[in-house]
Structure 1
Amino acid sequence: MKRFHASLLITTLAACATPAFAKGDIEAGKAKSVPCQACHGADGNAADPQYPRLAGQYHDYLERALREYKTGERKNPIMAGFATTLSEEDIVNVSAYFASLPGTKLTDLHDKVQGD
């Protein structure tokens, strides 16, 4: 019985941690994310290491970051310029979109670096 409860708990936690539970309209977020793609990549996996990879990030982390750029709590003039144009709904949608994308695995990064 303990084994059943433990497996049920693990399954529930894993399911809740997946991007599928992200709030927001993923398609609307994709449409609004076009300016983001110049630096962060079309798939959210920036090729240039100076830009963060957004794909697969937690939606709540992305939402918080965008809100902080918008209010000036985070300092980056480029991101502030983009974030100030986003409504609260846009922030939720863009965050849901990037959270829904598959992130780059460390092994993929290793292979990419080795190939250079």
Structure 2
Amino acid sequence: MNRSISLLVAGVALAVSVQAFAAGDIEKGKAKVATCVACHGQDGNSVDPQYPRLAGQYADYLAMALHEYKDGRRGNAIMKGFAAQLSDEDINDVSAYFGSLPTKLDDLHNHIQGAQ
């Protein structure tokens, strides 16, 4: 019985933390992406396969990734530097903006290092 309660509490905590990531203002985000577009494209659909396409990704996933770059759980020095400058509100807004854009993702062809 204790295990079930522990799992329930953990699930609720996870849901609450994901909801915190999901909130953001798309219009404010649009005004905050000047640095991002150099690599990820103005429309979030990078044409260079070394940079991920952000358009249409889940906003909560993008926010989680930015928080992980910021705190070092993801190991990319360039993204860590950019993310370090962002507040939680900035992260939510930028994530909401890119998540709201139409994606050009269809598969991973030419978007995996070394793929032909």
- Give TM-score scaled by structure 1 length: 0.71
Moved over 2 A (4+): none
Aligned residue for 1:45?
45
State the SS of the aligned residue for 1:65: helix
| Aligned-pair identity (%) | 65
* 8 Å CA contact 2:55, 2:98 repeated in 1: yes
* 8 Å CA contact 2:72, 2:80 repeated in 1: yes
Q: 1:24 Cα deviation (Å)?
A: 1.0
Which structure features the higher share of helix residues? 1
1:82 aligns with 2:82: yes
Unpaired runs of at least 5, structure 2: 1-21, 111-116
State the SS of the aligned residue for 2:104: coil
Aligned residue for 1:8?
none
Counterparts of 1:87 and 1:105 in 2: how far apart (Å)?
A: 28
Cα root mean square deviation, aligned: 1.7
Q: 1:105 Cα deviation (Å)?
A: 4.3
Aligned residues: 88
Counterparts of 1:106 and 1:98 in 2: how far apart (Å)?
A: 17
Question: Letter of the aligned partner of 2:102 in structure 1?
Answer: P
Unpaired runs of at least 5, structure 1: 1-21, 111-116
- Give TM-score scaled by structure 2 length: 0.71
